[in-house]
Amino acid sequence: MRALVISDIHGNLEALNAVLAAAEPYDALWNLGDVVGYGGSPNEVVDLMRAKAQVNVRGNHDRVCCGLTSAVGFNPVARAAAEWTKKELTEENLAWLKAMPQGPVVPEEPGVTCVHGSPLNEDQYILNMRDAWAPLQQAATAITFFGHTHLQGGFSQKGHEWHEIKTQFRTKNVAESWKMAIPEGTRHLINPGSVGQPRDSDWRAAFVIYDSEAREIVYHRVPYDLTAAQGRILMAGLPERLAARLREGR
């Protein structure tokens, strides 16, 4: 079974379309949350997830943009984007976001869990080995897919051995992939990175393919129509910083 695993689309339709095209063929789509917020195409992105994703996990921006929680904890730029997104979303898409389940969510594929932040707390960031220790120890499955940080990579553990997973790409302007085997007896926290707003200084859209039969994770980066995505942000009257940071990848 080949699963396309994505996270943190953040209303970036151009990046999402590039990912969906590059990922073919796949058998299932697992969405780890933050479908909206920041980007200028919230309805178009939600429509695609409603139609294509077999697994959806809510993110903190999803909660705020549909009104489940307030934007008090957001910085001014994120708050402005959330307020605009909430007004822009259709009633049907608002209802869909409100109904998205809180993680952990377990797909039909055995041995896998999907979350947005940490499996222990949906809003917690897993940024380093200290953050990863308890989730790896307490995870109910061998593989947990998570997002929230916008940083592609992850963490693994086998017995007393612990490793941070850092992808190794050669460029920052063409489509690339990096493959990682899943040995027996290992436990993994896998972050596919952000589709719509990477923050690892690589502007390309990020995703992973999980192949359960081959027992491997393939990390991908793909370029997309950055100018069009930036134009949608600016045309919507959203803060210019949201457009500029797409090129910076941070």
By DSSP bridging, strand 205-211 and strand 216-222 are: antiparallel
Residues 6 or more apart whose Cβ sits within 8 Å of residue 18: 205, 222, 223, 224, 225
Q: How far is CA 185 from CA 45, 72, 158, 161, in A?
A: 37, 43, 6, 11
| 172 vs 154, higher pLDDT | 154
Q: What is the pLDDT of residues 91-149, one digit of tens each?
A: 999 999 999 999 999 998 889 999 999 999 999 999 999 999 999 989 889 999 999 99
CB 226 within 8 A of CB 247: yes
Whether the pLDDT of residue 82 is over 90: the answer is yes
- 115/141 Cα distance (integer angstroms): 12
Instruction: Using only the alpha carbons of the chain, give its radius of gyration.
Output: 17
Whether the pLDDT of residue 72 is over 90: the answer is no
Smallest Cα–Cα separation from 53: which of 22, 89, 26, 75?
A: 26
Cβ-based neighbour number of residue 21 at 10 Å: 10
